[in-house]
Structure formats: structure tokens, C-alpha cells
Amino acid sequence: MKVQIAGPGCPKCQTTEKTVKEALAELNRDAEVIHVTDYQEMARLGVRITPAVVIDGKIALAGRVPSLEEAKDLLQSG
């Protein structure tokens, strides 16, 4: 599984990345987690609002920080 956190590195983006990593740990799942800060790459992924969580190339969430439970749900269905 490849999880990309798209955002310029703002506090909300950092919190999103931390939450996703914590969710992965609680689920005992391995995933490649990458923080995408390049605007051209974000546009290529289809991200228009940050923070965004992209799982295996599909935008799973955008525009807000997920709760831990929501992140776990996204990762289990992603």
C-alpha cells in the first residue's frame, strides 16, 4: 500500500501524516507513507485542497485532518 499525504508542510498536513502513521501502527499494517509537497505533483494526483490523503493513487480524503478512527477506516478500505 502506498499512502501519500499531500500538502505544503503546514501544521494540518503534519498532523494528517502523524495520524495516518498512528492508524497504520494500530492496524499493524505496513505502508509506504510519502509526504508530497510539490505543487505540480499534487496537481498530477488530482489534489486541489490540502491536506489530502491519497491511497494507492486515489484521493481518499481532502480538505481536513482525519480523526484516528477515520484514518483507520480509510486505510482498511483503501
The model's pLDDT over 13-40, given as tens digits with 9 standing for 90+, comes to 999 999 999 999 999 999 999 999 999 9
Cell of 9: 508542510
Q: Where are the domains of the chain?
A: 2-77
pLDDT over 70 at 78, yes or no: no
φ and ψ at 43, to 5 degrees?
Answer: -65, -40
* Residue for grid cell 484521493: 59
Chain centroid to Cα 3, Å, comes to: 6
Catalytic residues: 10, 13
Q: Which CATH superfamily includes the segment(s) 2-77? A: Glutaredoxin (3.40.30.10)
